[in-house]
Amino acid sequence: MTTEEPKSMMECSSTDMMKCCPVDNTFKIIGKKFTIHIIRNMSIMGHTRFNQLLDNIEDSNPKTLSARLKEMEQADLISRKVYDEIPIKIEYKLTKKGKDLEGIIMQMAAFSMKHYAKEVFKDSKPRKLKQVFKKPMITLN
């Protein structure tokens, strides 16, 4: 009697119920141009208006930003509120689902601040989240 070793991770019994890799799936959701930046700016910087996002997201342009905001709204990552004012005022905010991505953003920041301090900080010294952000979104171990 012989036992065969699984040939790939997807053949493991613990993954038999999976349709796709959850990491790949999350990347499909947040991996489009500017999506992660929009979430970052809304959660860390408190930006809620189109022009705030446009002015503070590196290399952004109105057409792509507008498309991404619409996609994120359809995916229930953000909500859009239109105020009946002249000129019209529109604000965006993260939904509960969108806020669940804040931990990913903070993990990404923590990784770069620790391992790529030369690229992130002028003095090239590594830092922890609480040294840079007054109130991190989540507590990281």
The residue among 107, 37, 109 whose CA lies nearest residue 78 is 37
| pLDDT tens-digit readout, 108-120 | 999 999 999 999 9
Do 123 and 91 lie in one domain? The reply is no
Across the chain, mean pLDDT equals 86
- To the question of pTM greater than 0.95 for the whole model, the response is no
Q: Taking the mean position of all CA atoms in its chain, how far away is CA 104? A: 6
In terms of pLDDT, which residue wins out, 124 or 138?
A: 124
Count: domains in the chain:
2
Looking up tokens 């947040």, which residue turns up? 30
Domain span holding position 105: 101-141
> Please, which residues have CB within 8 angstroms of residue 42's CB and are 6 or more apart in sequence?
48, 53, 78, 92, 93, 94, 98
Domain of 45: which CATH number? 1.10.10.10
Cβ neighbour number for residue 41 with a 10 Å cutoff: 21
